[in-house]
Amino acid sequence: MRQARPYSAMFAGGVSARTGPHALPLARIKKIMKRSAGDSSVVDGGGGGGGGTRMISGEAPVVFSKACELFIAELTRRAWAATLEGKRRTVHKEDVAAAVQNTDLFDFLVDVVTADLGDDHTDYK
């Protein structure tokens, strides 16, 4: 009997028929880049041209896609380590929060994670 492989070709670095060589959709990344470029004019006092980004080079979304993949993979690895430390096999949001709190690299997410958990953030070690 043929057994299914645990990961698709997309996660193994291959080409998937659905998304191509990128795990994240490039059109969505472009949309986010354009939206956040429009928000930056509010942050810097409105002196940045005001209209946001109209054009994005072809390489920029690919680079952002790879950066997002690496970020997600690292956060997932650390959350999985927290899951195994708790002697479980299912990742919970508390494991992700523990990974964020125990890693200096993810300090920018601490406020987001603790706000999401409410009073539950005092339960980890």
The CATH number assigned to the domain holding 108 equals 1.10.20.10
Residue 43: pLDDT over 80: no
Asked whether residue 70 is assigned to any structural domain, the reply reads: yes
Q: What sections of 6-121 are H helices per DSSP?
A: 26-43, 59-85, 93-101, 110-117
CA atoms within a 13 Å half-sphere pointing along the CA-CB vector of 56: 21
pLDDT at 106: 94
Share of the chain above pLDDT 90, in %: 42
Structure confidence by residue, pLDDT tens digits, 66-108: 999 999 999 999 999 999 999 999 999 999 999 999 999 999 9
Number of domains in the chain: 1
Please indicate, yes or no, if residue 36 is contained in any of the structural domains.
no
Length of the chain: 125
In-domain check, residue 44: no
In a domain, 72, yes or no: yes
pTM: 0.64
Q: Which domain holds residue 67?
A: 22-29+57-116
